[in-house]
A and B are shown apart, each in its own frame.
Chain A
Amino acid sequence: MSTYQEFIQQNEDRDGVRFSWNLWPSSRLEATRLVVPVSCLFTPLKERPDLPPVQYEPVLCSRANCKAVLNPLCQVDFRAKIWACNFCFQRNPFPPSYAGISEVNQPAELMPQFSTIEYIVQRGPTAPLIFLYVVDTCLEEEDLQALKESLQMSLSLLPPNALVGLITFGRMVQVHELSCEGIAKSYVFRGTKDLTSKQIQEMLGLTKPGATAQQGRQPVPQEAAASCKFLQPVHRVDMNLTDLLGELQRDPWPVTQGKRPLRSTGVALSVAVGLLEGTYPNTGARVMLFIGGPPTQGPGMVVGDELKTPIRSWHDIQKDNARHLKKATKYYEAMANRSAVNGHCIDIYACALDQTGLLEMKCLSNLTGGHIVMGDSFNTSLFKQTFQRVFSKDYNGDFRMAFGGVMEVKTSRELKVCGAIGPCVSLNSKGPCVSENEMGVGGTSQWKMCNLNPSSTLGMFFEIVNQHNAPVPQGGRGVIQFITQYQHSNTQRRIRVSTIARNWADAQSQIQHIESSFDQEAAAVLMARLGVFRAESEEGPDVLRWLDRQLIRLCQKFGQFNKEDPTSFRLSESLSLYPQFMFHLRRSPFLQVFNNSPDESSYYRHHFVRQDLTQSLIMIQPILYSYSFHGPPEPVLLDSSSILPDRILLMDTFFQLVIFHGETIAQWRKAGYQEMAEYENFKQLLQAPLDDAQEILQTRFPMPRYIDTEHGGSQARFLLSKVNPSQTHNNLYTWGQETGAPILTDDVSLQVFMDHLKKLAVSSSA
């Protein structure tokens, strides 16, 4: 390996893992001094077209509390047919089927290039995928129509054997029976009454009356039949369901002036969860919730139906003035946990101009790995294409989704796992490798991810527990094994095992090495995840202060400077970008709620804690490309100075894709030069960013908001709010007018930020 750059890239490609430190300090003390914890971003199901799964089961360590999987790092005695677990050092015999192994005839899992390997488990029944649509009918006619079309379209994307179900809700909640001929049948629940799972199942006829001792006949067949009523294979009910969706009416209950429609989202979800719980527990299922407004009645109500009472804002929340917030949040959390326990995930597709209660409902998706998609209307390409992309397929023609994932972490003795941050829930599995020091969701070595896709990424945090006085032997390596079991979208059960090892380094003698092994991108994202995680429970300013503190400490640790001399401050290359990331992170919507509704904040954070490193970095620091006649497109600084009249800018913030035409360009365009043959080049210039944007749109999930604007356009704010305000109305004249566009803000610029940072870093009192 030539450089850490390459090493890191290689590891990411092979194992889907990015560590903040690629050399690990050998003691707890040193580790804490490094400020950024030993941690990684792990993408369990990273797409590996080059990795065919093996058709057998993994070999496990026989020690009861270990159960680590045989991996390339294990010492193997080919002659004795014995292997030593590299976590607990237990010596295990190979199973009989491995009788023929030798140095030259090794199974895949022992080959170094298979540090990540996927097994297909043959045991157990395979259950079909389940898709349960939960549809809000309190929509505008146009919206509903668009939604209905999207849903009908989606039927054609589902595998024929997948089970589908439909629940619609408005004032009431209807569970539609799909197998009936001639007459559309549905079960109706009142939207204001919280029902237990058992009640729901009883009312749906999923449990037999035998339970109450009235008549205990034919319990079993009935159950099967009953569950079939609501969840039917697509191929069988395709037509029915299409018709049913076609006839779907808007919620027929009158909405009087000054009222919001009564929307029983809470009960609808409860019914959905209860239905799946009763019929297909522990089977991969996807509840897809489509809402066009906030829940306004019943449990989980977010706002009353009086329009004069606006939905809670951050301001209200800070003033503790959000009446329904706590209750609703608690309700949805309980629901999310139930759903997670059963391995079902919940997607939320919220399309409305106002808030829809994502703040309260976010945990439904956060805990179960579901998607959250937020749009203005179901009748937008943003929603339509995003929704379509949910059903996108990989190179094998399989859905890019996996269900019921359980990820287990094994660590060698010097390490313990502190927690994870991402779309997962704790399984509360205590074990020897669990640290008492929690970061993120901790206290366990197993997490459940009800839904996974190739980009789902967890932030994993570790703790070095090796004491300073018990040095790790030279050449020793710390090992971490991630074992991810999941149900593949083709219904196979699979296990993916990634075993990662890193060298230990003595921080005192090898600090340079450690510094150079720093992955500032991963570190920035991981620190950001920690920050976002904290932000969920703490006040915004506290989080920022904590983040600043960490940054200053890191700079103090690794910066080269003379005390009290800011100008002397220098950072090595491996840390050079880090402060800039932090600067943009501080301004990001993940930590700043100003100008964002609670729903938007929840939405942004939701995506931030589940995307892989690249996407996360884009979120932290948007990418800005510049197009001009002066040369090929080039990335430029995310700075106001980049906003020039003769440029077209393309900014990708992950959530938005902004094409900004500079003043001159905009005038040209308005004048219609692109239509003239002699200005073909101008036309091409205009087209270039569109093409690039299209490329980004092709792969991005969820679809970003696509914005085409120009200098002075109202939508230009999306760009202006992101760039570093190096030129503002305050310093405009000192910088001159030719170099960019002033930003009307009081925010500090990167320059000011860095100045302060240097000052504090070199200050002995800090």
Chain B
Amino acid sequence: MNVNQHTPMASPYGQPQPGYGQPGYAPLDGGYPAPYAPYNGPTSAYQPGAPPQGPVRGPPVSGAPPVSAPQQYNQYSHSQGEMQNGPPPMTQAPPRPAVSQSYNPAGMNMTGPPHPSYPQHYGPPPTMQQVTNQMTGMQINSGPPTPAGPGYAPPNSSQPPVSTAYTAAPPTSYAQGPPPASSAPTQPPPPSGPAAPQQYYGGPSPPSQQPFNSSLPPTSQQQFTPAPPPSQQTFPPSSYSGPMPPASQAPAPPVSQPQQSFPPPAQPTFSAPPASQPPAFAPGPPLQNQGSFPPRGPPPSSQPGSFPPPGPPPTSLSSGPYPGQMPPQQHPPPSQPSPYHSGPPPPGVQMPPTSMAQSNHLPPGPPGPPGPMQQPPPQPGMPGGFPPQQNGAFGQVRGPQPGYAGPYPGQPNYGAPAPAPAPAAPAQKRLDPDAIPSPQASDMPAVQKSRHRIDPDAIPSPIQVIEDDRAKSTEPFTTGVRGQAPPLVTTNFQVKDQGNASPRFIRCTAYNIPCTADMAKQSQVPLAAVIKPLATLPPDEIPPYLVDHGESGPIRCNRCKAYMCPYMQFIEGGRRFQCGFCSCVTEVPPHYFQHLDHTGKRMDCYDRPELSLGSYEFLATVDYCKNNKLPQPPAFIFLIDVSYNAVKSGMVNIVCEELKTLLDYLPRENPEMDSVVRVGFVTYNKVMHFYNVKSSLAQPQMLVVSDVSDMFVPLLDGFLVNVNESRQVIESLLDQIPEMFADTRETETVFGPVIQAGLEALKAADCAGKLFVFHTSLPIAEAPGKLKNREDKKLIGTDKEKSLFQPQVGFYNTLAKECVAQGCCVDLFLFPNGYVDVATLGVVPVSTGGSVYKYTYFQAQSDRERFLNDLRRDVQKLVGFDAVMRVRTSTGVRATDFFGSFFMSNTTDVELAGLDCDKAITVELKHDDKLSEETGALMQCAVLYTSCSGQRRLRVHNMAVNCCSQLADLYRNCETDTIINFFSKYAFRGILNSPTKAVRDTLINQCAQILACYRKNCASPSSAGQLILPECMKLLPVYLNCVLKGDVLLPGADVSLDDRAYLRQLISCMDVSESHVFFYPRLLPLTKLESDSLPVAVRDSEERLSKGGVYLLETGLHLFLWVGASVQQELLLNIFGTPSFSQIDPSMTSLPVLDNPFSQRLREIIDSFRAERSRYMKLMVVKQEDKTELIFRHFLVEDKSASGGASYVDFLCHMHKEIRQLLS
């Protein structure tokens, strides 16, 4: 994989380019002006196209044998891929354009070939998956494909062509490949394409769609009908033509493919695809590749799927489509052979494709355990995907195998599983993830069942969804395709940047957003993006490139000031560019001028990250700096409470001891160099003690400032020092601090002046920086920011409860503002023994992009590890300072609201004194005009910040999403985890102003509306008593319930106000993966541990716990090891080294180091969990029926909670009731 990635890297530009190029080409060909916009379309289109194909193929392929083929392919592909990559681009550029256009349709048709497309988009594969997800969309897929179609078509076609013609260049291959192949055929294909679709429509697909799509289909149908004819034609040029067209295309493709272009394109395509695929695969392990293939498989299948989708409802229909589809596929194979001949690899490849798909499916199948298996055997691979879809959709009812007929549909579902919204409904009926057999049609029965007694296994299972998504996400996710949802946060996947920001940087609630405000309002689905601008990427992904545009700074749009990005369209031979956001035309500065190629792309497109990638950085000029002066390197200031409590708890000792070593790990960008970050030290109780640690001193000097009412910094030189230069003095200081205050009797502390002190120090040094405040108690000493104890349990549940979350005094708000102005970020470590008013103390950290850590009743012995690990991480992590984030969007939507740790002095600029790699900002978007399906919606998030080496930079993340005019598309391409992230942040801010109960009701109500809207507009008509959930949102109820019953919104009696305020603030800056595990903890059974994989998690319910087992529960903040009362001795021996349950020491915070594989593996797992999270999780051993089990149970979120939170089942019923009320 790495290899691939690398290549992509190098070529990445190239790769994306192809995509773009194609789109561009398309436009050119089309001559449409719009075409430009289409770029996005095309790219996205590709993916979609692919996905649909995948599914389709998959199903047909069902045959396991093919699998083997895929492997071969892989190998081939490897070699070929490389080969292709190299040469193809060279040669075929020119032809492609034309081809591509033609291809579009062809491509669509090719979908069968989609495989090829996969190969091309190694990245795409994921997309494929997604697409497939969209699936249920199967129909929809078809629909989606349409959108994709237009775009896709080209890709597909291109892909195939690529493969064929150009085995050589996968990237180029796109363009090139397609062209050649298509060249002759392609051109014709377009017409054919249209024709084909029409035929399709007219023929099988339309009908099928109609019936099936009850909800979805209808949309698709509608789309189809209108779209198809025109769409096809138009599609090529403007991929956007609309999602619909894609759909049409998708369906069309099969037909068309077989009929028209298939043979020709197919062959070439196949060869190409395979080849390309292989390369992609090559990187990955063979098996995985296969795995990845499955997705591919799905895509193909998707096409069929698409057909099926229409079919889904009428399983039979779907089946119908299949045949049709199958043929096409089959056809291709035959055709492929020939190509194969031409190139050995190709043939193999081709073969594989189909087989691959199948095989892929199969392989996944295996991973996707029982569910898939149970379901259609062929689908097995798919199963993973399928089940989820079904599950999701179903809620209660499962339309299992019967759906099969619909297996295809199912397949589409697979693809869709995650995203698959619309189809979900139907799919649900048919299939259950858990593969519980039930009558297909038996939606009703299911419901009835649920009424009687709801089987917990019958309701959507988060675990199943997660596992299914994992199973599907075996290939890198490429970001080039617009509108496709990325894999879930729980899935490990690789990302290839092809023009949109990686999901690690940006995740959206919906990847197809409604075109109009009315639609958005109707659906109530929040439109938001969770942005984590400085996210850490896994080591195998390359961090954003740094681009230097010279002294004049980054090139920007004259009007909206958007930064140069792939959405900028160069015109007039490259002398000007048109902004993709506001359409304003801007002159290209001479030094940036570059000729355009015949496709309208700049010649240097792939050499410039800002023209081909979704994420990159600009070097900022002095114009972007405060006071027009380049920034000084930042500084870290450690402010340590040395009052009686702090000393007694051991905190002072630990901090001082740790700092000695920690100072060697200050953040730096170049590991070879010493960090340029300077450090300073302050201790305080009622007064402040500054330290002069200038290197020339023999001893540190302590400067006491008692004038806390009017804080100032007593020294400049010698306060902030370079660690290496002053090491001796610093160590001496850190040795002496604990001694000096060992006998202190001072119990009062101040807090406001502490931050002021740090702030003043930074001001004096004229630099940005970070304060690390180690604080123990409520600041009651006479000073600004003095607080009083206001914890009053009686207020909880009343209208005044909100006041407890609001800061007690306005002082800290003002202070926070000053901090932000200076770029002073505050990290607060709290060690309270009582109420410290986190709501107030946290104001500054939260407003400055800092973090709050809380260690209640801190004890050196048991909390040391956790604190130190948090501290180490906090100090070491990369951080940017003095940051300003601005989100620009294309006309029609606007970023209206922001959630996170920051400060805003106006409505558009998010100001962050500090921004570290763990902080996410959630941005809510609202319509202020209509959006166009063709252009989609663009978003550019630019963060101006000072790096930890003192360099001023601009990080730019671009994101394009589709716009849809059908609700079904919206529901099919959204992400529940992100929605929950948004909802929780929204609600947690709401409790500042409204009673908690009102906030909860609002949440429930909005979710009910979302689901009701789906039911009303997208699901097939069925009994009102049936609960139908969109595939992508089938977990919404369970997750929502977790939010509602969390400590913040529904506190138990033992939850302190501080804890709630703490969690409230903490979640406000969480990214999706953290919020996900926080709300729905991961619970792993530890009976058997395999060395290379984690055990499959179980649902967070006591029912799932076995007395004889040991479980590990992770929430992102806590880690529990639950030991059943009748656990096997062997397990105990392996884990604790003791044979007796009663001898387990519940106070242990780390497991004994035992020399047995089980213990080793368990500790590995625990370590890996900790490494995943931004905060260290202290391990708590919970023995069944021990007192501490109460705490543990609190995290079994599917159960009824002690504080009155509903169980999952109950809540689902409640939601159902709400929905029905809304519907009636």
Contact = CB atoms under 8 A, between A and B. Distances in A.
Interface of A: 172, 174, 177, 180, 182-190, 193, 195, 199, 202-205, 212, 214, 243, 247, 249, 252-254
Contact of A203 (B690, B701, B706): B706
B702 A183 contact: yes
A202 B703 contact: no
B697 interface: yes
Contact of B736 (A183, A188, A249, A253): A183
Given A172-B715, A185-B702, A252-B715, A190 B710 contact: yes
A446 to B, nearest CB: 38
A198 to B, nearest CB: 12
Contacts of B690: 188
B701 A185 contact: yes
Nearest 3 A/B pairs, CB to CB: A203-B706, A252-B717, A188-B714
A254 B703 CA distance: 19
A187 B687 CA distance: 10
Nearest to A217: B745
15 contacts: A172-B714, A182-B699, A183-B699, A183-B701, A184-B700, A186-B701, A187-B706, A188-B690, A189-B707, A193-B710, A199-B707, A205-B706, A247-B699, A252-B718, A253-B717
Determine which residue in B689, B694, B702, B736 has the highest number of CB atoms from chain A within 10 A of its CB, and name it.
Answer: B702
B704 A186 contact: yes
A252 B701 contact: no
A30 to B, nearest CB: 62
A203 B702 CA distance: 15
Given A189-B707, A190-B707, A184 B701 contact: yes
B733 interface: yes
A202 B686 CA distance: 12
Contacts of B1223: none
A247 B707 contact: no
Contacts of A183: 699-702, 732-733, 736, 740
Nearest to A173: B714
B811 interface: no
B455 interface: no
B786 to A, nearest CB: 12
Contacts of A189: 705-707
Contact of B716 (A190, A204, A243, A253): A253
A365 B699 CA distance: 36
B699 A193 contact: no
Given A177-B704, A183-B701, A188-B690, 17 more contacts: A182-B732, A182-B736, A183-B699, A183-B700, A183-B702, A183-B740, A184-B700, A184-B702, A186-B703, A187-B703, A188-B705, A188-B714, A190-B710, A195-B707, A204-B706, A214-B748, A253-B717
Contacts of B835: none
A254 B766 CA distance: 12
Given A190-B712, A247-B698, A252-B715, A185 B704 contact: yes
A139 B694 CA distance: 19
> Which of A188, A190, A249 neighbours the largest number of chain B CB atoms within 10 Å of its CB?
A188
B706 A202 contact: yes
Contacts of A243: 698
Nearest to B782: A212
Contact of B707 (A184, A185, A203, A249): A203
Nearest to A182: B736
Contacts of B712: 172, 190
Contacts of B700: 183-184
Interface in B662-700: 687, 689-690, 694, 697-700
A187 B736 contact: no
A184 B714 contact: no
A604 to B, nearest CB: 38
Interface in B723-745: 732-733, 736, 739-740
Contacts of B739: 182
B707 A193 contact: yes
A230 B365 CA distance: 80
Of B707, B732, B748, the most chain A CB neighbours within 10 A belong to B707
Contacts of B701: 183-186, 247
Contacts of A202: 706
A608 B130 CA distance: 98
Contacts of A172: 712, 714-715
A190 B713 CA distance: 8
Contact of A187 (B697, B699, B705, B710): B705
A202 B716 CA distance: 25
Nearest to A170: B715
A247 B690 CA distance: 17
A111 to B, nearest CB: 58
A120 B323 CA distance: 128
B687 A174 contact: no
A252 B690 CA distance: 14
A199 B687 CA distance: 13
A188 B703 contact: yes
A214 to B, nearest CB: 8
A259 B492 CA distance: 61
A245 to B, nearest CB: 13
Contact of B699 (A184, A188, A190, A253): A184
B656 to A, nearest CB: 13
B548 to A, nearest CB: 32
Nearest to A202: B706
A204 B694 CA distance: 24
Nearest to B746: A209
* Best-surrounded residue of B706, B732, B739 (most CB of chain A within 10 A): B706
A203 B704 CA distance: 9
Contacts of A182: 699, 732, 736, 739
Nearest to B706: A203
Nearest to A187: B704
Contacts of A186: 701-704
Contacts of B707: 189-190, 193, 195, 199, 203
Nearest to A203: B706
Nearest to A191: B712
A249 B718 contact: yes
A197 to B, nearest CB: 14
